[in-house]
Amino acid sequence: MLETIAVVLIILWLLGFVTSYTMGGFIHILLVIAVVMILLRVIRR
């Protein structure tokens, strides 16, 4: 489930860049959280 959330956050972040619609630092914080979740899953395997 965490991987799904991380992927969705990354997709939303990329869409924010494509559409030039960002909510300031909030979307970048979401990206950092998504990357950390993915790294934790990779390390635990």
- Model confidence at 4, pLDDT cuts 50, 70, 90, reads confident
Q: Which residue has the tokens 């991987």?
A: 3
- 26/16 Cα distance (integer angstroms): 11
- 37/17 Cα distance (integer angstroms): 21
pTM value is: 0.49
* Tens of pLDDT, residues 11-32: 877 776 655 555 566 667 777 8
Q: What are the domain boundaries of the chain?
A: 2-44
